[in-house]
Amino acid sequence: MSHVRTVYLDNNATTQTAAEVVASMLPFFAEYYGNPSSMHSFGGQVKARIDTARQQMASLLGADPEEIIFTSCGTESDNTALMSSLRSYPNKRHVVTTRVEHPAVLNCCQDLARRGYEVTFLPVDRQGNLDLNQVEDAIRDDTAIVSVMWANNETGVVFPVPEIAAMAKAKGAVFHTDAVQAVGKVPISLKDTQIDMLALSGHKLHTPKGVGVLYVRKGTPFVPYIMGGHQEHGRRAGTENVPYIIGIGRAAQLAQERMNDENTRVKALRDRLEQGLLKVEATMVNGDPARRLPNTSNVSFEYVEGESILLMLSDLGVCASSGSACTSGSLEPSHVLRAMGVPFTAAHGSIRFSLSYYNTDKDIDHVLKHMPEIITRLRQISPFWKKAQQTAKACATPGWTAP
């Protein structure tokens, strides 16, 4: 393993597991290992602890414990919500979503379109925002479900989800939101909204990978996606992943305790990072600056390749990304930035920095110390940068006219 100091700024991809979460999980590997479905008290005490975790998660979301279903991940939760709604309303074959969803929703909807469903993919503007008039116009009598993420994983742009949920309900459609990035970063009180289903993932909340949650409002028609046993009140079959469920319950507690820090200290770190990076020539921030998560900054450095920036940052111990970790194998520009109309020369050089409770001023200092040199070195070998400089020089020449 590398001995270079790690500066981890990729928390929208995954997070460090909190020590408090690990401590809560450990007894359930070798000490309290009973099956929570067993009739004996050894298993019964485990079930009681799962019920406690359910209450902890419900408290974070402003929901009732019986509305919480534990799953394996955010993707399972998203897919379950979409498929449950379509099975509950077989005569409704229209789905509304956005062009900037996480692949967990976007790819599922694209598959539905290939299978004969009609899917409306709503556009966003240059700031990454939705036009609420377009949203309302897209919802029809035959719309089974409207699925709009609460916060974008690449830009951090926050959508007015409660308002959109109200629009969906007014027209008789189920409303689902992928809140994987929002939970723990923005206050949520589901009982005060008309949201029917909400998905989240534990590993974005300082829990190990392998556990998620699907919130289903009481009274919402629901068909299980995974069939089998009676677990989760018959809504999600499969023996419960007890240690991880205990862990996500503890993480929900920590998220409530740290919400204020996330929106003050962490936000201030993000802002200082962003302000420092904008001093680099031909650099811009992507996403509405007034409607973003407090931890996320998506910055484009024009005329350089994002992958090259990431490799040079990695050599310095800095972890960031060029978009969703779930699409990191693709060399195509981010579908989110393309939907926003970010110029090709900027989209290819976009880097997402996403902070967490564990980041410090020293982390920001480290990035700001090295980033200007990285960009300068890469632009020296970039034919696009050279061409841009030549064009700019020609434009400044008296008597020059565009070809």
Q: What is the pLDDT of residues 272-329, one digit of tens each?
A: 999 999 999 999 999 999 999 999 999 999 999 999 999 999 999 999 998 644 445 5
Q: Is the pLDDT of residue 331 over 80?
A: no
The model's pTM is 0.94
pLDDT at residue 400, as a whole number: 45
Q: How confident is the model at residue 397 (pLDDT cuts 50, 70, 90)?
A: low
Residue-wise pLDDT tens digits, 72-104: 999 999 999 999 999 999 999 999 999 999 999
Contact 179, 150 (CB under 8 A): yes
Residue-wise pLDDT tens digits, 101-121: 999 999 999 999 999 999 999
Structural domains of the chain, ranges and CATH numbers in brackets: 7-13+259-382 (3.90.1150.10), 19-255 (3.40.640.10)
pLDDT at residue 384, as a whole number: 77
Q: How confident is the model at residue 402 (pLDDT cuts 50, 70, 90)?
A: very low
- How far apart are alpha carbons 181 and 131 in whole angstroms? 21
Sheet with strand 350-354: strands edge to edge: 283-286, 296-301, 350-354
- How far apart are alpha carbons 319 and 264 in whole angstroms? 22
- How far apart are alpha carbons 167 and 175 in whole angstroms? 9
pLDDT at residue 325, as a whole number: 47
Q: Is the pLDDT of residue 387 over 90?
A: no
Q: Is the pLDDT of residue 350 over 90?
A: yes
Contact 23, 33 (CB under 8 A): no
> Which residue bears the tokens 């700001």?
368
Average pLDDT over residues 52-77: 98
pLDDT at residue 399, as a whole number: 55
- How far apart are alpha carbons 301 and 290 in whole angstroms? 21
What H or E segment, with its residue span, contains residue 46? Answer: helix 41-61
Q: Give the pairing of strands 283-286 and 296-301.
A: antiparallel
Catalytic residue set: 326
For 191, list phi and psi in degrees, rounded to 5: -65, -20
| Interacting residues of 386 by C-beta distance below 8 A, sequence separation 6+ | none
Residue-wise pLDDT tens digits, 230-285: 999 999 999 999 999 999 999 999 999 999 999 999 999 999 999 999 999 999 99
Q: Give the pairing of strands 212-216 and 197-201.
A: antiparallel
